[in-house]
Homo-oligomer: A and B are copies of this chain.
């Protein structure tokens, strides 16, 4: 080919690419505007406000939206904003000298990110076998703003309890190793689901575990989770904080 025909071919390729982008919407790897799809933005806000409940998968038209939201900055920004709110609230509290002022953190998608797993599943229905295989690898990245917050709270003299619905027997050691590798070292206790609580709802299990902490004398000053089921039920704490999660819903 001559240089002129090469240039023409390249121009045609670029034009075709641009036309396909305009026709189909941006592909998954293309950074979108933050708010992008008005319908999916409405849906995401409903999830965060606990208006949309019991959904089993991300609505099919919003799979690309959720992918972009998670991957291209707005999720990180939202988590960072929530961490700032928590930090500002905690700064007003004076932990007692008795060492009983405590925070409760959920684990999955509060401390550790399962984004990569849910991306490969296209945010589809819950698959317990595949999720267990993923979680047992112990390679979930830590969520940076939360790891920093965790250290801030520890540094201010709070006790921090990690409370997760993961099965203790199957996932106890991999979860502990994952947390340590992801910047969550120095928590007071990692409370997982023992055999006796298998099949019990998150609200009931977590309420029972919090009751145990309160009976031991701890004052739950704050409670942080990505699911409303982390934050409702009994003895939820003085203040609850919802970490964004439009990927899945735990009843």
Residues of A within 8 A of B (CB): 33-39, 41-46, 48-52, 73-74, 77-78, 80-82, 85, 240-242, 244
Contact = CB atoms under 8 A, between A and B. Distances in A.
Contacts of A49: 48-50, 242, 244
B242 A74 contact: no
14 contacts: A33-B36, A34-B36, A34-B37, A35-B41, A41-B74, A42-B74, A42-B77, A42-B78, A42-B80, A45-B45, A46-B82, A46-B85, A49-B244, A50-B240
| Most B C-beta atoms less than 10 A away, residue of A39, A42, A74, A241 | A42
Given A48-B45, A48-B49, A38 B74 contact: yes
Contact of A241 (B35, B51, B80): B51
Given A34-B36, A41-B35, A52 B244 contact: no
A81 B46 contact: yes
A74 B41 CA distance: 9
